[in-house]
Chain A
Amino acid sequence: MIKGGFKGKLLRVNLTTKEVKSEALNEEWAKKYLGGRGYGTRLMLEEIDPKVDPLSEENKVIFATGPLDGTLAPSSGRTMVITKGPLNGAIASSNAGGHFGPALKHAGYDMIVVEGKSSEPVYIWINKGKVEIRFAREIWGKLADESDELIREQTHPLAETMTIGPAGEKLSRISSVMFNGHRASGRTGVGAAVGSKNLKGIAVRGNEDTTVADPEAFMKAVYKARDILSKDAFAGQGAAMLGTAMLVNVINGVGGLPTNNAQDAFFPEANKISGETLRENHLIRNEGCAECPIACGRVTVVKSGPYKGNIGGGPEYESIWSFGAMCGVSDLDAVISANHLCDKYGIDTISLGSTIACAMELYEKGYMPKEDAPFELRFGSGEAMLKAVELACKQEGDFGKLLAQGSYRFAEHYGHPELSMSAKKQEFPAYDPRAIKGMGLEYATSNRGACHVRGYGTAVEVLGDADQYAYEGKAALIKTLQDLTAALDSSGICLFTTFGLSANELAEMVSTATGFPIDAQEFMKIGERIWNIEKIFNLKAGFTRQDDTLPPRILSEPIKTGPSKGHVEELGKMLDEYYQLRGWDKNSVPTDEKLKELEVQILK
């Protein structure tokens, strides 16, 4: 019996047969994997062949909440999108904040499993447990925020929405899924998975309570957690003041800001695109996802110049970096405009900025015929960067179409895949592994392709007291953070809470919400279990040890200037130790003993 946290029901919508059914949550899975990423991955392993084409009818897309969504737990508005990733074919999960997750719980469901493929554009309307599949002919082609408005007009003004933009419709492999028109599940190309099903959006509204197993103990844990967070230097102070963009000067200050397609890791003009400058010149207000005491979200506007009046959410640190330093651009107006455009079209800012940087290098080095670029594609030009963003968003011309498929496919097209700054074809974000060693191991081993939110080493290596250049201890650190993050992603709250909260506080909230006996140790074990089943999915999909690697530049080209000058990343110094700690063999395959210990042996 589900005692609390979960609603205990999932919704299955088959877009081929238009069949809709509600079914009971598998309690054993809920105990072993919680919700979100964990449960979703377990379901994918059960129900699809990991070898299927991510854009085919056989792939599924799951929108999942965790047991803490829809409660007062801090930052508990996350919705996880789980699918086989269009960008690289690995198991993908990408989450966003906002209010969709809690609304889904109030509508009576823990998750939605979307199957099949509609013959024409549709959206799903879930109202107080009742489900309709509606035609979306007039909404198809509209921007993500316009679609949000239109769908709310046609359903209910207070509905919470998921929508994709034109990028997802046109199956861009770096397209995102947007919540409330402006919160992005950006990575792994989830927008294309939704687009391939001819699904334009989902609107949800409900009136049910969410309850927890032990209300009194739960609220005690919640208030404790909120208190810790509000006092934390990063989560409580820095992020509220400057947003995640506070990291621009911090990371550049330690020589770890990849610049000009990571030809360097120090950007002399960083201050022009910093959180401080953003606050001074562009910030209108802070925005918080559901129940969030941190409110790192920004609402910004461009006040003058050619991009005047451009208003929207963000930009986050990562987006500022990808359109800024990575492209050598110090024009914050252009960076903000690029970010807002990406949100409207539903395309991942990290991947797109990095793809444009990759194109700039190919262009400057003469690897790409000049006539293939519609304009001069030079590092440092905000104008060129923004024009490229526009073409990619609209997928105009061969150039725009190719950009929209990500840097790996772009660089491969011109015979230089090594210039794509990616791992498993996914662009890495704003931390140079040559300067922050653990991040390299994280990028290389991340199950969904390079990413910073699958074990955020930077929190300890730069913001904490570990040595950023040391290799010792990093394998253990990254493993621990990966496990912690996997469990956290399955509980429904935001990764940023880990700046202040440890497994203890997290486990306390999850156990009092669900009634499952979960202490810190069990919480970490759940995380490890999730990490292992993701790995199993990838092995079945055809990934091997060879895929756990980084671009050759990172492994062999020393950083040229700045505080980390001369460094390369020696991944080999960490990788074997990492596999060993994971209980995997040299080929990155989990051993039988490990799987037995984690009680997932049947899956291999």
Chain B
Amino acid sequence: MRVLMLDQAKCTGCRACEYACSFEHTGKFNPLDSRIKVNEFWEDLTFVPSVCLQCERAYCEEVCPTSALTKNPETGVVELEKEKCIGCKQCIVACPWGSIKLDHTGKEVIKCDNCGGDPACIKVCYPDALSYEEVEDITNVKVLETATRLKEIAKDLVKGGA
């Protein structure tokens, strides 16, 4: 299963992902219609993208009175069935991350659907702050990163001992 990964350290705050997302879903450019949101903290010039995490236990799904939201076991995506949605906004209240929201009209619930398996946002993210990866590979990368740091320490230890 593949997931959208965010690497805050690499984000440049360009918001191209927001524009690509909104265009993919509406054919227009409007950051308010983007499922991904880049938060900027101007005081320290730090940028933090956030997007739906497709939770295993999805509160949005749990509170939805019409079962408009359901987790697809195959893709892992929590899918929104527009026709069933009554716009009660309970999912918005329930999501711990603020990842499900209303579009710019304030009327329609929208959420990340991984663009059906080919996310538009990652295509415009040149610094690779966003990636779409197999879950196992992600943990591998993290393990490798830690191991690399430990390797440097190990090398230093040897130097100290010699």
Q: Which residues of A contact B (CB under 8 A)?
A: 70-72, 99, 106, 145, 148-149, 180-182, 207-212, 215, 219, 223, 226, 230, 236, 240, 284-293, 295, 297, 299, 311-313
Beta-carbon contact of A211 and B45 below 8 Å: no
List B contacts of A291 (CB < 8 A). 14-16, 19, 124
Complex Cα spacing A573 to B23, Å: 51
Q: Which of B33, B45, B104 has the most CB of A within 10 A?
A: B45
A-B pairs with beta carbons under 8 Å apart, 13 shown = A72-B19, A72-B23, A106-B31, A182-B45, A215-B27, A240-B126, A285-B9, A288-B12, A288-B16, A290-B14, A291-B124, A292-B12, A311-B45
Given contacts A226-B124, A230-B126, A293-B14, contact A209 B29 (CB under 8 A): yes
Chain B residues 30 to 47 lying within 8 A of chain A, measured CB to CB, are: 30-33, 42-47
List A contacts of B26 (CB < 8 A). 209
Beta-carbon contact of A295 and B12 below 8 Å: yes
List A contacts of B9 (CB < 8 A). 285
List B contacts of A287 (CB < 8 A). 12-13, 45, 47
Beta-carbon contact of B30 and A293 below 8 Å: no
Complex Cα spacing A311 to B43, Å: 10
Complex Cα spacing A299 to B32, Å: 27
Beta-carbon contact of B16 and A313 below 8 Å: no
Beta-carbon contact of B12 and A72 below 8 Å: no
Beta-carbon contact of B29 and A210 below 8 Å: yes
Complex Cα spacing A335 to B127, Å: 27
Given contacts A71-B19, A209-B28, A289-B14, contact A295 B127 (CB under 8 A): yes
Q: Which of A71, A149, A230, A313 contacts B43 (CB 8 A)?
A: A149
List A contacts of B124 (CB < 8 A). 72, 226, 291, 293
- The residue in chain B whose Cβ has the minimal distance to the Cβ of A300 is B45
Complex Cα spacing A70 to B43, Å: 24
Complex Cα spacing A312 to B46, Å: 11
Beta-carbon contact of A180 and B42 below 8 Å: yes
Beta-carbon contact of A149 and B42 below 8 Å: yes
Beta-carbon contact of A99 and B29 below 8 Å: no
CB proximity of B9 to chain A, nearest CB, Å: 7
- The residue in chain B whose Cβ has the minimal distance to the Cβ of A216 is B27
List B contacts of A99 (CB < 8 A). 15
Q: A148-B42, A210-B29, A311-B45 are in contact. List 17 more A-B contacts (CB 8 A).
A: A72-B20, A106-B31, A149-B43, A180-B42, A209-B33, A210-B28, A215-B27, A219-B23, A223-B123, A230-B126, A287-B47, A288-B127, A289-B14, A290-B15, A290-B16, A291-B16, A313-B45
Beta-carbon contact of A293 and B126 below 8 Å: yes
List A contacts of B31 (CB < 8 A). 106
Given contacts A291-B16, A291-B19, contact A285 B29 (CB under 8 A): no
Q: Digit string of B94-112 for contact with A (CB within 8 Å is 1, else 0)?
A: 0000000000100000000
List A contacts of B33 (CB < 8 A). 209
Beta-carbon contact of A71 and B29 below 8 Å: yes
Chain B residues 41 to 63 lying within 8 A of chain A, measured CB to CB, are: 42-47
- The residue in chain A whose Cβ has the minimal distance to the Cβ of B29 is A210
List A contacts of B126 (CB < 8 A). 226, 230, 236, 240, 293, 295
List A contacts of B30 (CB < 8 A). 106, 207-210
Complex Cα spacing A289 to B123, Å: 17
Beta-carbon contact of A211 and B29 below 8 Å: yes
CB proximity of B131 to chain A, nearest CB, Å: 16
Given contacts A145-B42, A293-B126, contact A288 B29 (CB under 8 A): no
List A contacts of B28 (CB < 8 A). 209-211, 215
Beta-carbon contact of B45 and A299 below 8 Å: yes
Q: Digit string of B1-30 for contact with A (CB within 8 Å is 1, else 0)?
A: 000000001101111100110010011111
CB proximity of B135 to chain A, nearest CB, Å: 27
List B contacts of A299 (CB < 8 A). 45
Given contacts A145-B42, A211-B28, contact A293 B13 (CB under 8 A): no
Nearest 6 Cβ contacts at the A-B interface? A288-B14, A288-B12, A209-B28, A295-B12, A72-B19, A299-B45
Complex Cα spacing A149 to B44, Å: 12
Complex Cα spacing A70 to B9, Å: 25
Complex Cα spacing A283 to B16, Å: 23
Chain B residues 96 to 155 lying within 8 A of chain A, measured CB to CB, are: 104, 123-124, 126-127
- The residue in chain B whose Cβ has the minimal distance to the Cβ of A312 is B45
List B contacts of A145 (CB < 8 A). 42
Complex Cα spacing A285 to B13, Å: 10
CB proximity of A129 to chain B, nearest CB, Å: 13
CB proximity of A210 to chain B, nearest CB, Å: 5
Complex Cα spacing A70 to B15, Å: 11
List B contacts of A70 (CB < 8 A). 29
Complex Cα spacing A295 to B47, Å: 13
Complex Cα spacing A238 to B35, Å: 32
Q: Which of A72, A182, A211, A311 contacts B16 (CB 8 A)?
A: A72
Complex Cα spacing A299 to B117, Å: 34
Complex Cα spacing A447 to B42, Å: 34
List B contacts of A226 (CB < 8 A). 124, 126
Complex Cα spacing A364 to B32, Å: 58
Given contacts A71-B29, A240-B127, contact A209 B104 (CB under 8 A): yes
List B contacts of A293 (CB < 8 A). 14, 16, 124, 126
List B contacts of A182 (CB < 8 A). 42, 45
Complex Cα spacing A284 to B41, Å: 14
List B contacts of A284 (CB < 8 A). 45
Complex Cα spacing A292 to B17, Å: 11
List A contacts of B14 (CB < 8 A). 288-293, 295
Complex Cα spacing A77 to B153, Å: 44
List B contacts of A219 (CB < 8 A). 23
Q: Which of A72, A230, A240, A295 has the most CB of B within 10 A?
A: A72
Beta-carbon contact of A288 and B13 below 8 Å: yes
